[in-house]
């Protein structure tokens, strides 16, 4: 048997930690959530029984292709009146479901790993991409505390992420995101433009025919 070179020893080990810098204060933690992924998806399904998936309207009157729900004290909503964080789900009139311990622990562990100790998210927006769903280039600037990072967890089908610059004009890099990947970005990278290309169809053992993305934020 030919011997694998020493630097390839972990090439096929899904548990091998890999931190890929995307910017001065943005890092992709490949597979960071893999061990918890099934449990996270079960939590998402439970959350969606209380706060159903919905396609929000933009202030311009477009219907978003991504279905959303959320949990935590706050979650992000959009309608014809604008974007904002809200304590209640406008569909049910109820408070958002509580943030599961497993969500909070993972978000805090990832933030710490990326150099943002003490991250206390108060909002988790949950995005569901069916084939063809996309997110056009935007900045996340509805949070009051721009010093806190955002932690993103990718589950299920892979997606091509667009990692842009400080202005819309900068041509974005393409970053493939896979099941279990976690991205943390803050500081000087906090206001970068970003988006997601239309999801390709496929089948994933954990999520079936979709991609789910969790984003943890400090909104207030
Ligand atoms: C990866 N969501 O909800 S995750 C959003 O995949 C949002 O659903 C996207 O943008 C999603 O506001 C993106 C967050 C993210 C942001 C910047 C990145 C992931 C990144 C930069 C490089 C790689
Ligand atoms: Fe975003």
Q: What angle is formed at CA 83 by the lines to CA 51 and CA 107, rounded to 5 degrees?
A: 60
Q: Select from 207, 187, 212, 211 the least CA-distant residue to 199.
A: 211
Q: What is the pLDDT of residues 139-165, one digit of tens each?
A: 999 999 999 999 999 999 999 999 999
Q: How many CB atoms lie within 10 A of CB 167?
A: 9
For 55, the 3-state DSSP assignment is coil
Q: What is the pLDDT of residues 177-204, one digit of tens each?
A: 999 999 999 999 999 999 999 999 999 9
What fold, for 7-217? Jelly Rolls (2.60.120)
Q: What is the pLDDT of residues 61-102, one digit of tens each?
A: 999 999 999 999 999 999 999 999 999 999 999 999 999 999
Residue 30 Cβ < 6 Å to ligand 1: no
d(CA 54, CA 67): 5
Residue 213 Cβ < 6 Å to ligand 1: yes
Beta bridge partners of 138: 194
Residue 129 Cβ < 6 Å to ligand 1: no
- Domain regions of the chain by residue span: 7-217
Identify the DSSP state of 93.
S
Q: Whose CA is nearest to atom 3 of ligand 1?
A: 215
Shortest-distance atom of ligand 1 to CA 129: 8
Q: What is the DSSP string of 96-154?
A: PPPPPHHHHHHHHHHHHHTT-TT----EEEEEEEPTT--EEEE-----S-TTS-EEEEE
Residue 3, pLDDT score: 41
Residue 152 Cβ < 6 Å to ligand 1: yes
Q: What is the edge-to-edge ordering of all strands in the sheet holding 135-138?
A: 135-138, 194-196, 159-163, 173-177
Residue 6: band (very low, low, confident or very high) from pLDDT cuts 50, 70, 90: very low
Bridge-based pairing state of the strands 182-185 and 26-30: antiparallel
Q: Whose CA is nearest to atom 11 of ligand 1?
A: 213
Residue 11, pLDDT score: 55
Residue 45: band (very low, low, confident or very high) from pLDDT cuts 50, 70, 90: very high
126: Cα separation from own chain's centroid: 7
d(CA 104, CA 106): 5
């Amino acid at each position: 048997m030919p011997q694998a070179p020493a630097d390839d020893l972990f090439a096929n080990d899904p548990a091998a930690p890999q931190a890929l810098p995307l910017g001065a204060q943005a890092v992709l933690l490949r597979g960071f959530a893999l061990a918890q992924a099934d449990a996270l998806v079960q939590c998402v399904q439970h959350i969606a029984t209380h706060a159903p998936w919905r396609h929000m309207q933009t202030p311009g009157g477009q219907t978003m292709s991504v279905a959303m729900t959320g949990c935590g004290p706050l979650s992000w909503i959009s309608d014809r009146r604008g974007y904002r964080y809200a304590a209640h789900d406008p569909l049910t009139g109820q408070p958002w479901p509580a943030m599961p311990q497993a969500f909070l622990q993972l978000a805090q562990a990832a933030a710490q790993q990326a150099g943002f100790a003490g991250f206390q998210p108060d909002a988790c927006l949950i995005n569901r991409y069916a084939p063809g769903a996309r997110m056009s280039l935007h900045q996340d600037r509805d949070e009051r505390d721009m010093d806190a990072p955002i932690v993103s967890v990718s589950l299920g089908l892979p997606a091509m992420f667009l990692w842009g610059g400080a202005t819309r004009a900068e041509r974005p890099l393409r970053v493939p995101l896979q099941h279990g990947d976690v991205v943390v970005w803050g500081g000087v990278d906090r206001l970068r433009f970003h988006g997601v290309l239309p999801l390709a169809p496929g089948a994933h053992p954990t999520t079936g025919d979709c991609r789910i993305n969790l984003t943890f934020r400090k909104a207030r």
